[in-house]
Amino acid sequence: VSENWDAPIVMTTMVQFLEVLFSGGTRGARKMHQLANSVLIFDEIQTLPINCTHLFCNALNFLTNYCNTTAVLCTATQPLLDKLKTPEKGQLTIPPENELAGDVTKLFEDLQRAKVIPKLKAEGWTTEQIAELAFGEFEKLGSCLIIVNTKSWAQQLYQALKPNIDNESIFQLSTNLCPAHRKAIFKKIHQRLGKSLPVLCVSTQLIEAGVDVDFASVIRFLAGLDSIAQAAGRCNRNGLQEMATVHVINPCEEKIDLLKDIKVGRGMTQRIFDEKFDDLLAPNAIEQYFNYYFYDRADEMDYPVSARKLGRDDNLLNLLSNNTKNIGRSKSSGLLQQSFMAAGKAFKAIDSPTQAVIVPYDDEAKHLIAELGRVAKEFDVKTYRRLLKQAQKFSVNVFPNVWKRLLKEDAVHEIQPGEGIYRLDKQYYSDDFGLSDKPCSLMDINLC
């Protein structure tokens, strides 16, 4: 089923959908025909990668206009895919009568459970000030969620808060924890919240979508308004309070230069705050936010490709359409002018060069690492692949700068030389923070 999507209902990801349509090779081609005569439901459509915007819109227009396909775009913050700055490059056609929710403004008013309150400071919030606000909300209301933009801030705040809070009540979540570890923490949080037990959680934005948790208060670091809306969805989710508060704050120091989505979104959100909307999550505020955000990033929406990758500066939309920079282009030729192979090689739905490493989270993970080493030596390919699939829940994806530090520390080792499958030394995995590029002391988390 995973090879050709040959099933009545298929659960997949936006990444897989985009890879099927635009990546090179034959794997995607075996699935593409299944998109015709189907209903495609895209959850959290606002997370569509900005560089894939025009490619996605053109593909969806083709599927709905010519392939008898129905598409449903689901989100609490609908992006303006039908109102792009350069519609000639491809945008969706969405008639007003296609809105399934009906009167969105009235629904927002009827279902609103939390208010966004900006609490921005010119000098920014210090660690101590944020910890004091979080602890105050936790003491007063019984549960508080702090959502930050970077893993370093998650660790920093957790360390600042932990000495004053019972170990059973405080949690930290980030992608430095393997999926199995995160799942176990989510289960504990959900159980405690369900029993009205105290919970204080510091998390990166991974908690914002698809996680059914209900905190009495949320503190959100300044980010895109769509992210803030997602954070609000974790606040008073079950309507136990008449109205809850999402506090939006700006930390005094934050390294987000490499996180362009967050950096640009933060600037556009500040513009919305300055315009004094009656409610910062109302549909008209969200629409204005996306007007600013999409206008600012219009030049990125056709999937630019650098000369380093392609030999010349170009974009995938051009390669797959007119291909005006094709040096072999001929107006009189009946041949296709597109550069399909070059486009397929250049396309990555997520262009982040990470390295996966299997971590020794628990006894099952340690046993799996040992089994992978044994099976690799015996050259049992079928079993080896099955074990690798199981290992995904114990794997952490590491960016190049962190990977270099782990190599320097001799913290990662190939399970079988030449295979490219790595394991992490147990000294570099913390029960609190997950993977670290420094040895973690079981006695003192400040050393991690």
How many whole angstroms separate alpha carbon 31 and alpha carbon 20?
7
| Parallel/antiparallel/unpaired status of strands 412-414 and 395-398 | unpaired
pLDDT of residue 382: 86
DSSP state of 328: T
Would you list the DSSP string of 188-234? HHHHHHHTT--EEEEE-GGGSSS----BSEEEEES--HHHHHHHHTT
> Which pLDDT belongs to residue 445?
39
Low-confidence ranges of the chain (pLDDT < 50): 442-448
Q: What is the pLDDT of residues 79-102, one digit of tens each?
A: 999 999 999 999 999 988 999 988
- The position carrying tokens 């059973």 is 168
pLDDT of residue 24: 86
Where would I find the beta strands (DSSP E) of 279-337?
304-305, 314-315
